[in-house]
Structure 1
Amino acid sequence: MNIENLVKMANDIGNFFNAEPDRSAAVHGIADHIVKFWDPRMRQAIIAHNREGGIGLNELPRAAIAGLGSELASLREAGDG
C-alpha cells in the first residue's frame, strides 16, 4: 500500500470538505467517507501514518484520522475491534 497515495486521497477528501463552514462537520464528513469507502487495510495504514507524524496530511484529514484512530483503539479495548 503506497502511503503517499493514501495521503493524497485523504487530502483530496479534505479539500472537498474545506467548503464546510462547520469544522466539526467537515472532520466528521471526512471520517465518515474514509469509514464507508476505504478498505480496512487502507484505514489502518493511514491511521498508523498519522500516529507516526502524518507527514503530508493537511489539517482537516489529520483531525479526522486522529479521531478514527481513537475510535479504533476504544473498540479494541472493548473487544469489538
Structure 2
Amino acid sequence: MAYTEDDLQQVNDALAKLVAGERVVQVAHDGHVVKYKDIELSDLVALRDRINAQVKGRKAGKKRRIQIISNKGT
C-alpha cells in the first residue's frame, strides 16, 4: 500500500494528540480507521517511521542526474 504526505501528517497529528494527553486518537487510510491508545504509542511511532521512509524513498527516486561534458577550446 502506498502512503502519502497526507498519511504522514495524520499520523504526526495523532502522535501530537497522544502526547498532549488525549486518551484515544484515530488514523484513517484506505477506508480503514485505526484507533490508538497511549499504550500503543510505540506502534504509532513505528507506523510513522515506516510511512516516512516510504515517502522519502519516493522523493529520492525522483532525482535527476545532469551531466555536462565540454572540451577545452580549440
The answer to which structure has the higher helix fraction is 1
- Give the greater-gyration-radius structure (CA): 2
Q: Which has the higher contact order (CA 8 A, sep 6+)?
A: 1
TM value normalised by structure 1: 0.34
TM-score (structure 2 length as normaliser): 0.36
